[in-house]
Amino acid sequence: MHIRVDDVVEVITGDDKGTRGKVLRVDHEAGKVVVEGVNRVYKHVKRSQRNPQGGRLSMEMPVHISNVQLVCETSGKSTRTGIRYLGDGSKERYGKKSGTGLGQIAPSKEKYAKKK
């Protein structure tokens, strides 16, 4: 999964298509992400000490990872992502449309470093 917490993503299908938001949580096992302002539902809450008012709480529900696409910081457009090794052997994410790096995801390893 190439999407992480605090990434800006765009919803590409469903009721919230075209909406952009920040990723709040990632569930790797279920393959879902919670995006700020997307897939909002009402949860009815009974009055209690914790919630003395009661009523309806609006909250975000998870969206499948295949329904969102990462937004490239340089171009501002949604893009597919890939993984590549840099010259020093470290691994990074990159946007496939622009080719720009989107951050390092693994430290450098000697066996992946380019030999001179």
CA-to-CA distance for 70 and 22, rounded, in angstroms?
Answer: 10
Give yes or no for residue 116 having a pLDDT over 90. Answer: no
Which strands form 20-27's sheet, in the order they lie side by side? 63-64, 32-35, 20-27, 8-11, 68-71, 78-79
Percentage of residues in the chain with pLDDT exceeding 70? 98
Give yes or no for residue 45 having a pLDDT over 70. Answer: yes
pLDDT digits (tens, 9 = 90+) for 3-33: 999 999 999 999 999 999 999 999 999 999 9
Tokens of 49: 């000490």
pLDDT digits (tens, 9 = 90+) for 31-43: 999 999 999 999 9
CATH number of 1-46+55-71: 2.30.30.30
- Return the amino acid letter for 46: K
CATH 2.30.30.30 residue ranges of the chain are 1-46+55-71
